Structure 1
Amino acid sequence: MNFIIATVVLILIIIFRYFLLAGAFWLGFYKSKLQSIKKRQIYDFLPDSSQQLYEIKWSMYTSIVFGLSGVVMGLLWQNNLTQIYLKFDQFGYWYLPASFILTSLVHELYFYWTHRWLHQPRIFKLFHKVHHHSVTPSPWASFSFHPVEGVIQALALPLIVLVVPLHPLVVLIYLTAMTISAVSNHLGFEILPQNSEKFLAKWFVSGVHHTQHHRYYRYNFSLFYPFLDVLFKTEHPQFSRDFRTVFDKKAK
């Protein structure tokens, strides 16, 4: 019974966080009349309501999967099978931000290679095409996955805490940051500063970077940092041009 209650509560929390964060970006960008916002629009036309409802539907399935994975991680912790610790200074205060960065780098490796695998033709047709139904995704697409892909995504953090010591606060902040990143990269607006294609956008995945992935499929598989795309020559060759084009266009 406790397992069922914990699962339901966690699923509801994840759904709430999804609607809170995706909804905030949707309201702030899709409903804005400000030219300073409109000039950041990547697409010529924003996704219609039918596509957005499609994304929300699949995101609900993913939220269930994510909730289950959270409960599994909790059970692993209760049985002393994880490296989760409770004392803030157990490894020194410096380790808190360091563990956040380490987790993001390990997750980047996991995501990049599982993402490449999901683009194998047969696997793509079975699972990943649900996400790529959104050629021009909206913020609601941030969780829009087939349940099997949702499981693959959800396994990352439970696997990481088996070997990397993490404080629960770091886990919570990381999950929130991950959701914000997913929402902003599917937003359809570029939130990085103008002229940052030679600096910030070289180090962090941007809206334009992930939009190219949805348009061209064969490029830009990264999650947070594009260094693996650069290393394995999967970054779109015209990324810098497309980034500049967003700001060169007249405000819509």
Structure 2
Amino acid sequence: MSRGGYQPPDPIEAPPLYDWPPRPLATLRWIATGLLFPWGLFFIGLAAVSWAWLTPGVDSMRSLSPGWMGLVWLRNALLLTAVAGTLHWWLYIRRAQGGDYKFNARWLASDSRKFLWRNQARDNVFWSIASGVTVWSLYESLTLWAWVNGHIPGREWGDSPMYLAAMLVVVFFWGTAHFYLNHRLLHWDPLYFAAHELHHRNANTGPWTGISMHPIEHVVYFSVFLFWWVVPAHPVVFMVTGFFNGISPSVTHSGFDELVLGGRFRLTAGDQFHHLHHRYFEVNYGNTPTPIDKLF
């Protein structure tokens, strides 16, 4: 089967945030409906719930110990599995919408020597959970420990609600800017062949492809947390950072431009901009919220 699949009718363009002269109303509309809705708000809500009910108590985090750090790993693994696993079941096992809105007409490889066990989905699950969730959770745990002990600057919602609300939006811009920078680094030949090549085996992506990476790449990729070691924030902001970088790639790598639910309701899913990078390799290193590719 050829690669020919769905092509979105509209050209890829930079958000109105970068227009000159400025277009404030269009920018606010894009932030609300393009950046935050639906997935940004989903990850913010998930972070609030996780901090309130799915994270060990502050007292236990005053020292680094396998007990509470293991619970952070378990929470992240279960949440990633819930999102990526549901998308994989809906799109690739049940094939609920067939090939509608699928970028690549082919399905995931089930007999290829490129992948562990010759199976792309199983390979992707292994690297995502065994390495991806582990490195992500270590960065998150270190950041939480440093925040609890006052080793990094912090803020509380009662004292700085507007500032922290702004930081929730900054998460998405910093995450995409950091992605461009670390991605360009990973395309440096020594790092590419040592690590990044593993992710690029997935020319045709699926939900579990998102953070299916070599451990070296995970160390680079999840260094996005280090921003909060110098910029004051709160654990909810840290967790949005983790979910945006750890779980949202399951959506953007789903291989489908849109999810069709109930026959009529549609949700934005895959990222055509990044899909083209997987297909053509030397284009589109970043993402549209921070269109650095347009500058370089």
On whether the aligned pair clears a TM of 0.5, the verdict is yes
Does the C-alpha gap of structure 1 residues 99 and 5 become closer, same or farther in structure 2, counting only changes over 3 Å?
A: same
Normalized per residue, the structure richer in helix is 1
Match of 1:250 in 2: none
Structure 1 residue 226: deviation in Å?
4.8
Match of 1:62 in 2: 132
Does the C-alpha gap of structure 1 residues 11 and 224 become closer, same or farther in structure 2, counting only changes over 3 Å?
A: farther
Match of 1:7 in 2: 69
Task: Note the alpha carbon deviations across 1:35-85, whole angstroms, 9 max, x for none.
Answer: 5x6321111111134011111111121211112112211221133122232
Aligned residues: 218
Which residue of 222, 229, 236 corresponds with 2:293? 229
Contact 1:184 1:191 in 2 (8 A): no
Task: Note the alpha carbon deviations across 1:164-188, whole angstroms, 9 max, x for none.
Answer: 2222223333433444431111111
Which residue of 94, 99, 109 corresponds with 1:48? 109
Residue 99 of structure 2 aligns with an amino acid whose one-letter code is: K
Q: Distance in 2 between matches of 1:23 and 1:153?
A: 22
Q: TM-score, normalised by structure 1?
A: 0.77
Match of 2:193 in 1: 125
| 3-state SS of 2:106 partner | coil
Residue 127 of structure 2 aligns with an amino acid whose one-letter code is: W
Q: Distance in 2 between matches of 1:4 and 1:223?
A: 35
Does the C-alpha gap of structure 1 residues 226 and 71 become closer, same or farther in structure 2, counting only changes over 3 Å?
A: closer
Which residue of 138, 149, 167 corresponds with 1:79? 149
Residue 146 of structure 1 aligns with an amino acid whose one-letter code is: H
Q: Distance in 2 between matches of 1:113 and 1:57?
A: 26
Q: Distance in 1 between matches of 2:259 and 2:96?
A: 17
Match of 1:213 in 2: 277
| 3-state SS of 1:38 partner | coil
Residue 10 of structure 1 aligns with an amino acid whose one-letter code is: V
Match of 1:26 in 2: 88
Does the C-alpha gap of structure 1 residues 172 and 128 become closer, same or farther in structure 2, counting only changes over 3 Å?
A: same
Contact 2:228 2:238 in 1 (8 A): no
Which residue of 93, 96, 100 corresponds with 1:39? 100
Percent sequence identity is 25
Contact 1:220 1:226 in 2 (8 A): no
5+ long unaligned stretches in structure 1: 194-200, 233-252
Structure 1 residue 123: deviation in Å?
1.3
Q: CA RMSD in A?
A: 2.4
Contact 2:84 2:207 in 1 (8 A): yes
Q: Distance in 2 between matches of 1:139 and 1:215?
A: 16
Match of 1:184 in 2: 251
Q: TM-score, normalised by structure 2?
A: 0.67
